[in-house]
Each structure stands twice: as structure tokens, then as C-alpha cells.
Amino acid sequence: MKATLIIINHNGRDLLAKSAPAALDAARSGGHAVMVADDASTDDSVEFVRSTFTDVKVLSLPKGGFGAACNAAVAVAETEAAVLLNNDVVARPDFLEPLLEDLEKERVFAVGCKFVNPDGSLTNAVGNRTSGKWDRGLLYIHHETRPERLSETCPQLYPNGGGMAFWRDKWLELGGFDTLYRPLYWEDVDVGYRAWGRGWRVLYEPASVVYHDQGSTMARLHRPAQIELMSAKNAVLFVWKNLLDPRLFRRALAAQAAWAADDVLIGGPPSRVGALWRALRQLGAAGQGRAREQRERVYSDDEILELAGGGER
């Protein structure tokens, strides 16, 4: 099996100086391809890659956000499998083979890497052995950080978009990352959840280690308050689009209305009310996505979370 390693970039020339050679090292032994999908950088990222890494294909794109850049790159990839890497992720030379081996397992859609901090620690590392639960109108995500729980290949809810491998044909069948979540956050949760809903599996692979300088990309592009608001808005949209169980959905809407009223009347996190207002502007698009999920879903919401947590069916 051949794969295309796709690095998503926006104004990250200094980050590419570390992530691109690491990706090339990992790809060479198996004859895999490396691509940089550049989301309308205004620095010299494109020129730097073209002049420094002649084996790397550069896809120069108009500004569309993270999800759109990923979709455009996967669409032109010429391999069976694709691997997404953030520009602030440095892959170990041996990270690729375990990912591709896992993809060959039955009904697997995607496999996520093991994310560690630049010093190799797991403190506050995100993206490992993800799981979720419904609480107060939202899906709350858990990222495992205990070393003893991160040593075996196992199911997880979704693969972190900063380091994940997947079958290209299944990605295209799903429609890739939903640009409903533009400019970023929750695209990877959404695609993993939808894959489980169609009867495919998502795995976590501890042998595929990548070093993630968490926040180094987002911190230079967005203020903390903006990041919080984007994530909160997309968390609401995820529920409106993907939570199909009528009982759970009614509970979620009631909970969202309750905490919004509390925030308005007695005060609360400004991002929550702002998130609801911004999500309402995209209600039509969320409804269209929901209609598709209702047509194509084969597992219930409860079954998805059970299977992603290691349950069998």
C-alpha cells in the first residue's frame, strides 16, 4: 500500500523546516509521497518548500481553512491511503508502517497517531485514545493521558486531524472534513463519528509516535478568545448535525436552552451565548448534514460511543 503524507500549512515556514524533512524521512523507505497543502500563506512557505524540498509536491490553495485544505489535498492524492499531519507535528521516522498495517485490518477507516510533547512527555497531550460522552447538551471529549492506557492498539472515537492515516476512498465517500466547521475545530471529531456510524472503525496506534508542539500553529493565527468561541460554536453544530437519537437530542436542546438562559440572566462564559448565535447562522447547513446522516447511519448514537470505547458488535 502506498500513502501520501499531507502537511497542512498556513504561514508556517519555520515549522515546515522541521516537519517536512521528518515526513520525507518517514516516506522514503516505502516509496511514499509527501505533499504540502498551503492554505494561502502570506509568508514565504511555498517558495521555501519548493526550493528546499524538491521531492515534496506543493499544492497552493486559496484561503479556505483547515478542512477545505485537507479535502483539496486528498482529492488530488494518487495513492490508496493518505496521512494528514499538522505543520507543527514532527513524525518519528518509523511512525508510518504501524499506521498502514492497522489500516489493513477489518472495516478500519482511519488510524490515529500517538501524540507526545516535544520532550516526549504526555502531560496535557491531546489526541490519544479519544472517547466521548453526552453531557449538558454537548459531546464531551476525553483525551487519554495515562501511560498505562496508551500502550495498546485499540478503538477510539476519532483520530486527531494533526496526525491520522485513512483510506482515501472511504474519505471521499464520507465527503471528507465538513466545511460546516470552518475555519477549524471539530472536523476530525465529526469525520470519526460519521465513520463509526457507517459501520467502519477508527483505531489508536501507540507505535506511531509524533511530536506535537501543541498550540504553536493556532496561537500565531488566532487570539485565545477567538479559539474558544470557534470551538464552542462548532461543538453546538456537531450536536445539531450528528445526534440523531430523538430522546438524546431533545435533552441536548433543552440543556443548551437552559445554560444559554442562565448565562444571559445570571452571567456565564460569554463564548457559550456567542457560540449559539453563531451556530444559528449555520442551522440550514447543519440540517442538510443531519438529513444525510439519517439516511446513511447504521449504528445509533449510543452504539457509536460504545464501539469507540472498545465495545464489540
Q: Which of 157, 125, 122 is nearest to 141 (CA)?
A: 157
- Are residues 204 and 156 in contact, defined by beta-carbon separation less than 8 angstroms? yes
Q: What is the pLDDT of residue 214?
A: 75
All cell numbers assigned to 149 = 492506557
Residues 174-192, mean pLDDT to the nearest whole number: 95
**143 DSSP assignment:** -
Handedness of CA 216, 103, 168, 185 (dihedral sign): negative
**Which candidate, 184, 288, 185, 179, places its Cα nearest to that of 242?**
288
Q: Note whether residue 263 is domain-resident.
A: yes
Q: Is residue 229 situated within a structural domain? A: yes
CA atoms in the 13 A half-sphere facing the CB of 173? 11
Could you read off the pLDDT of 71-84 as tens digits, one per residue?
A: 999 999 999 999 99
DSSP per-residue letters across 67-94: HHHHHHHHHH--SSEEEEEETTEEE-TT
> Which residues have C-beta within 8 Å of that of residue 241, sequence separation ≥ 6?
178, 180, 190, 286, 289, 290, 293
The three cell numbers locating residue 168: 482515501
Considering its fold, how many domains does the chain have in total? 1
Q: Assess if residue 253 is contained within a domain.
A: yes
pLDDT computed for residue 223 by the predictor: 73
User: For residue 249, what are the domain limits?
Assistant: 221-292
The secondary element (H helix, E strand) that includes residue 284 is: helix 283-296
Q: What is the pLDDT of residues 219-267, one digit of tens each?
A: 555 577 888 999 999 999 999 999 999 999 999 999 999 988 877 676 6
Q: Is the residue at 4 inside a domain?
A: no
Write down the pLDDT at residue 216: 55
Residue 283 resides in a domain? yes
- Tell whether 155 is covered by a domain: no
**pLDDT at residue 187, rounded to an integer:** 97
Does residue 278 sit within a domain? yes
Mean pLDDT of 42-59: 97
Instruction: Give the per-residue pLDDT at 207.
Output: 98
Indicate whether 274 belongs to any domain.
yes
